[in-house]
Amino acid sequence: MPANNRANPHTKWQHSHEFNSEHQTGERNTLYVLILTAVTMVAEIVAGAWYGSMALLADGWHMATHVAAFMITLFAYRYARNNASNPAYSFGTGKVNILGGFASAIALAVVALLMIVESVVRLFDPQQIQFDQAIWVAVLGLTVNLVSALLLKDHHHHDHGHGHGHGHGHGHHHGHHHGHEHKHDHDHDHDHDHDHDHDDHHHDHHDVNLRAAYMHVLADALTSVLAIAALLAGKYAGLNWLDPLMGIVGAVIITRWGWGLVLQTAPVLLDASIDAGVKQRVEQLIESDGSSSISDLHIWKVSSQHYAAMVTVISHQGKSSLDYRQQLSAFPQLAHVTVETIECDDSRCAFNGSGDDSIN
């Protein structure tokens, strides 16, 4: 036997907490968008300063906020990848991308707030608008955003399920003179079921980090479209007040998008993102034999697509943790499973379907 196997006899049961391999395309395209946006930003700021154009300067500094947002997205991708095997992260770095999406949502809110403030100021203190120049700047910004949107458009990922389970049976014999016996199987079963389910391929649209960057591009594209419409109305119909009004409308829409990202990311960060249907299917599967009941169940997300689960099962037919882990392998999205089994022969703890079991 090789020395490294002697040193760690559990190697074949260990598994990786790498959840970010499917994000490589998103990371690469985000880098392209970052470079494109940064080059456009520098060009607009330099041209604005050279030609004395406030419109070019304003759009250039506005693009700077999106450069910062894309840098957050790129940092989250790279940090998650580089620290995927860091033992400090018990369940891997899958949530780093979620955190990046949350940070981008906050950045969207800041951009929207700045837009509202500037629009309100211009609504009550109208300024002279150089329509032709401003329209060309808006068209340039829209073109850059459309190219960026094509690069960031979410991709279909084939998700390969990797089911891993840890079984911990606890064995204590409690003999009571009252005629009932509880057997807690005390073999510490650390086998890992590596269930590579290649039949369950599903298309995934849940790269929250990429979606956040995409929202920034859409937000900028929206402001460009609204600006073009308002500028054309101002130039040909004299409706100059539409320019700041469209800024307010755009800010409201961007705020809604940002809030949607918060609602999508915050529950995952707080371990409160589990669909009730997922828990229900796990419960139904375990208890389908009529002799097993769940006394404790915790399911939480460790990435945007992967779950971890801790299950305590009361068994009345001597089923082992391995049996339950094999059942749970039907859920390829369960990346890390810990099963604790309690053997109970007492009729008072038999499953009666009353729903009195504690499910947390």
Least confident stretch, 108-112, 195-199, 227-231: 195-199
Query: How far, in Å, CA of 336 to CA of 347, rounded?
Result: 32
The arithmetic mean of pLDDT across residues 150-177, rounded, is 48
The arithmetic mean of pLDDT across residues 83-100, rounded, is 82
Nearest-5° angle of CA 208, CA 213, CA 215?
Answer: 90
pLDDT at 206: 65
Reported as a pLDDT band with limits 50, 70 and 90, residue 196 is: very low
Residue in this structure with the two tokens 């506005």, named with its chain if needed: 62
- Strand-strand pairing, 157-158 and 307-315: unpaired
What is the total residue count of the chain? 360
Query: How far, in Å, CA of 149 to CA of 145, rounded?
Result: 6
Query: How far, in Å, CA of 329 to CA of 337, rounded?
Result: 9
216 class by beta-carbon count within 10 Å (0-12 exposed, 13-18 middle, 19+ buried): buried
Domain definitions of the chain by residue range: 13-158+203-269, 161-201+275-349
pLDDT tens by residue, 276-301: 777 888 888 888 887 788 888 888 88
pLDDT tens by residue, 8-49: 554 444 444 454 455 678 888 999 999 999 998 898 888 877
3-state DSSP assignment of residue 344: strand
pLDDT at 54: 63
24 token code pair:
């490589």
Number of Cβ within a 10 Å radius of residue 243: 23
Residue in this structure with the two tokens 């073009």, named with its chain if needed: 228
352 token code pair:
């009666």
Nearest-5° angle of CA 301, CA 160, CA 13?
Answer: 80
Number of Cβ within a 10 Å radius of residue 353: 9
- Given CATH 3.40.190.10, say whether it is the number of domain 161-201+275-349: no
Architecture of domain 13-158+203-269: Up-down Bundle (1.20)
The arithmetic mean of pLDDT across residues 240-266, rounded, is 89
> Of 90-94, 114-118, 343-347, where does the model show the most confidence?
114-118
Q: What's the pTM? A: 0.68
pLDDT of 236 over the 90 cut: yes
pLDDT at 205: 47
Cα dihedral across residues 133, 136, 137, 138: positive or negative: positive
Nearest-5° angle of CA 238, CA 240, CA 242?
Answer: 115
Alpha-carbon dihedral angle through residues 155, 107, 303, 37, given to the nearest 10 degrees: 30
User: Within a 13 Å sphere around the CA of 254, how many CA atoms are in the beta-carbon half?
Assistant: 31
pLDDT: which is higher, 168 or 36:
36
Query: How far, in Å, CA of 118 to CA of 98, rounded?
Result: 31
**Please, are residues 302 and 308 in contact by the beta-carbon 8 Å criterion?**
yes
Query: How far, in Å, CA of 46 to CA of 85, rounded?
Result: 43
pLDDT at 148: 92
Least confident stretch, 108-112, 144-148, 300-304: 300-304
Average per-residue pLDDT for the chain: 75
pLDDT of 353 over the 50 cut: no
DSSP 8-state assignment for residue 65: H
120 token code pair:
């309100």
Q: Give the DSSP letter string of 178-244.
A: TS-EEE-----------EEE-S---EE---HHHHHHHHHHHHHHHHHHHHHHHHHHHHHH--TTHHH
pLDDT of 185 over the 60 cut: no
Cα dihedral across residues 119, 121, 126, 131: positive or negative: negative
Largest CA distance in the chain: 96
